[in-house]
Structure 1
């Protein structure tokens, strides 16, 4: 049996690792258009709950990755200069390039050698294969081979965001909301390694245009962003890595497979960065796919159908939460009219998964502080 994988990001590498562990006899090829040390973005964040699946399904890979992770126990929301801690969820983060290097190391240990700097123009370029896995991201060549068959739907959100790093550490996953001379902005920031953090800046499309960002080059854009978040950065500098203003693409596919081709990760779906689940979902997709292959005794048509049936409910739950979270951020400037404590409550409930009872169990310290500030959980 021959498996061809498009994309050597976390999903593609992990698919190869799990398949090789299950079936050492399978011929696996991975093709990646970038070099082995190329990556975009900075850190990858996981909740402790999200890491559980990795420990359960692949303890060896988990043991390789976890020592390199930064950990913290709270979310922090900063609004009108008031910092509010929300307890209840532990998080871990790792540099995106560090994660790739560790998965590459694990793949090499298993005799897997991706082919880098090789651009695949069409799915046919992957050669004859019993199974083709599209792990090639939002602009997937595999998905492009049959957009109608996959039932692709794409919607672009309105807000603008730009993904930087910062040469400093933050002590928690923090959401900083600021009102500046140019309008209202938000930053999502967290540390991912010693002395380094991810720093994603977001604003509405109207504010972005009014601020004149369309006319600024990369250096001027970074300088303005450093000024807007000077109090948050506290002397630190933003770090550029192909950092450009973008609008988030909401991608869904009605069918996860077509013939012998199957999609995983951002090739199949996107989940708004505000819930920090993109890489987690990609790895979970791969786990579900390989589980389906094993349970069907590697019968490809049966396995792909089983993969969609098994994966769809869990995926829809998380993507649905991400969609609701994104909708909250699309109107974050309006939410900022709230006082800090009601605002923090609105933030933590943005995905629609926490009623009053769940919030009490999830974040007892935060809910106690809400009550002390006279904020009703019915808001």
Structure 2
């Protein structure tokens, strides 16, 4: 089988590697428009058990990634100078470029032909392939050519965000909420290397307009964010890498394949950064696509199986991501709550965690929260 993989992000690299490893006779050509060591953004975050979904079928890749990851077991929320820790909500992270480097090495080792600095501008360049895997992200050239056939749709969240890094080390995944005279800001920050952290700044449109960010340069916006979060950064600077203000794009495709073309990762669907699942979703898409193709005797039946089996799982997660994003759309209102109430609102925002689950996974936080509520009742009576 001849397969063209368009896009050298985690999803495309992992599919190319996985298929070639399991089918050495296949010809896999991966096309990536950027150089091998280029990436945007900084770190990517996974849940605490992030690599367990790899270990069953691919322990070697899991073992290659695991030593490069930073991990922690709590979430820290900072509001009005007070700090609330939520125990038992573990995460781990890795630099995006580090992850890509590992996956590139894995793909190269099994014989994937990787063509960096090669832009696919037309599908006419891909004649003769049995399968075209579109892993080329939000602006997928494959999807753009057949948007009606894929049932493509896109909407945008109202909040604005800019993705920075910093040399400030944060011990846990943290959220810092700051009220200024012109509006409210939130920063999502966590370390992805011993000496580097992601620092994603978010605000609502009213705040963005009050600061006139539309007419600010990248450097001017960065300076304002450094000032707003000066106490959090503790003397460290923000680092920019194409750190422009964006609205989060909600991408969805009702049909996941057309002819011999199939979508995975951000070309297919997006999930809000507040649940930290974009990279994992792309890799899991690659695994699901591989299994579906192997279970059927021809490509089109395999692609149909891929959508049938994988789509309900992704829909459930995207629904939770939308609920989480809706909470952030109104985070300035939530900031008026008492810190413990705010933390409870935050951790239950996606609708996937009820009180019983929270008592089991975060017993120290839940005991403190319930004690605070009992104290309120006594005070009111």
* Distance in 2 between residues matched to 1:193 and 1:22, nearest whole Å: 32
Aligned to 2:336: 337
Q: CA deviation at 1:313?
A: 1.5
Q: Is 2:91 aligned against 1:91?
A: yes
Aligned to 1:347: 346
SS at match of 1:74: strand
Residues 133 and 367 (structure 1 numbering): CA distance in 2 closer, same or farther, change over 3 Å? same
Q: Is 2:279 aligned against 1:317?
A: no
Residues 172 and 301 (structure 1 numbering): CA distance in 2 closer, same or farther, change over 3 Å? same
* Distance in 1 between residues matched to 2:364 and 2:302, nearest whole Å: 45
Aligned to 1:282: 282
* Distance in 2 between residues matched to 1:245 and 1:55, nearest whole Å: 37
Q: CA deviation at 1:181?
A: 3.1
**Gaps (5+ residues) in structure 1?**
none
Contact 1:342 1:375 in 2 (8 A): no
Aligned to 2:43: 43
Contact 1:341 1:375 in 2 (8 A): no
* Distance in 1 between residues matched to 2:294 and 2:348, nearest whole Å: 38
Aligned to 1:191: 191
Residues 308 and 336 (structure 1 numbering): CA distance in 2 closer, same or farther, change over 3 Å? same
Q: CA deviation at 1:168?
A: 1.6
* Distance in 2 between residues matched to 1:322 and 1:183, nearest whole Å: 25
Q: Is 2:58 aligned against 1:62?
A: no
Contact 1:6 1:126 in 2 (8 A): no
Cα deviation 1:12-36 (Å, max 9, x = unaligned): 1101011011110011011111111
Q: CA deviation at 1:365?
A: 1.3
Higher strand share: 2
Contact 1:45 1:276 in 2 (8 A): yes
- Output the aligned Cα RMSD: 1.2
TM-score, normalization by structure 2: 0.96
Contact 2:27 2:112 in 1 (8 A): no
Q: CA deviation at 1:125?
A: 2.1
Q: CA deviation at 1:375?
A: 6.6
Show structure 1 runs of 4+ deviating over 4 A.
Answer: none
**Gaps (5+ residues) in structure 2?**
376-381
Q: CA deviation at 1:359?
A: 1.4
Aligned to 2:378: none
